[in-house]
Amino acid sequence: MDIDLLNRLRKETESGIQKVFDELEKQSVEFGTDEFNGNNREEFIIKFDGFGIDLNENGEKEIIRVKLGIYLEDKENIWVNSLEPIGDYLTLYDLKGEFIDEFITINKRGIEFEIDFWIETLNKTVPKRYFRRNIPEYTLVSYINHSIFLFQGKDFDGVFVFIKRCLDYLETSENNERIETEYLDKVNSYLETIFYHLKNNDLVNKEKIKKYDIVKRIKTKS
């Protein structure tokens, strides 16, 4: 295997992981998630973990793998070289060095939903007149607030009920068209993020999700 080619692929991979980190930071801000699972990007230690070659059915070389390990400093000296592995970044290339795909893993834990972020975000963007009980938008604001309150109380079935009610409300064009764009965008992002948190962590009954076609309806909103 050409050493110059491998060195180039290693450099591209080391540059690529920083671009992925940039995107994860952007997602964390936009959707109120913690894509780094409570870790600070600045604390990550990236180490080259080696190359790999995948063979096809005929035993011929087909894909070059470049792997970087993601570590944290092990202050308790439990791990080898005082580096605690928390994930990895893998890039795939063909034999000519053309990029094929990339994969990243940071921890194995489920991503947490940052409810405080969404309370602050929604409060900043909601028009204050929506709190008047004599206008239609008050209904949506009430549904959102109920979902937040129930989430904090860990009543996830209750949260699901109000996600559905929000969708019911927004799917009426007359209601949807009245809502200011900035607030509507944040509401749609909030509903998508909190729904997938419930779904991916098995916090609501899957039959309910299927019954009300929530996945399709959420995608329509996003």
Please state which of the ranges 57-71, 73-87, 159-173 shows the lowest mean pLDDT: 73-87
Total of domains in the chain: 2
- Percentages helix, strand, coil for the chain (3-state, rounded to 5) are 55, 20, 25
104-129 pLDDT per residue, tens: 988 744 445 789 999 999 999 999 99
Instruction: Tell me: do 150 and 62 sit in the same domain.
Output: no
* Residues 79-88 pLDDT 10s: 778 888 888 9
Same domain, 122 and 216: yes
**Residue where a domain terminates, one of 54, 88, 106:** 106
Angle at 48 between CA 45 and CA 52, to 5 degrees: 145
Could you please report the per-residue DSSP string of 159-202? HHHHHHHHHHHHTSHHHHHHS-HHHHHHHHHHHHHHHHHHHHTT
DSSP 64-86: EEEEEEEEEE-TT--SGGGEEEE
Domain span holding position 96: 3-106
pLDDT band at 62 (very low <50, low <70, confident <90, very high): confident
The length of the chain is: 222
What is the pLDDT at residue 219? Answer: 63
Say whether both 22 and 76 belong to one domain: yes
If asked whether residues 158 and 195 sit together in one domain, one would say yes
- Same-domain check for residues 58 and 120: no
113: number of Cβ within 10 Å: 22
Tell me, yes or no, whether 125 and 201 share the same domain: yes
Same domain, yes or no, for 101 and 123? no
> Of 106, 139, 166, which residue constitutes the final position of a domain?
106
Predicted local distance difference test score (pLDDT) of residue 111 = 45
12 and 98: one domain?
A: yes
139 plus 74 within the same structural domain: no
- Arithmetic mean of pLDDT, 93-107: 91
Q: What average pLDDT does this structure show over 136-145?
A: 96
Whether residue 220 is predicted with pLDDT greater than 80 in this model: the reply is no
**How confident is residue 70, by pLDDT bands cut at 50, 70 and 90?**
very high
Residue 181 has pLDDT above 80, yes or no: yes
Mean pLDDT of the chain: 88
Query: At which of 58, 81, 106 does a domain end?
Result: 106
Q: What percent of the chain has pLDDT over 90?
A: 56
What is the C-alpha to C-alpha distance for residues 180 and 162, in angstroms, rounded to an integer?
Answer: 20
Residues 66 and 123 both lie in one domain: no
* Same-domain pairing of 73 and 28: yes
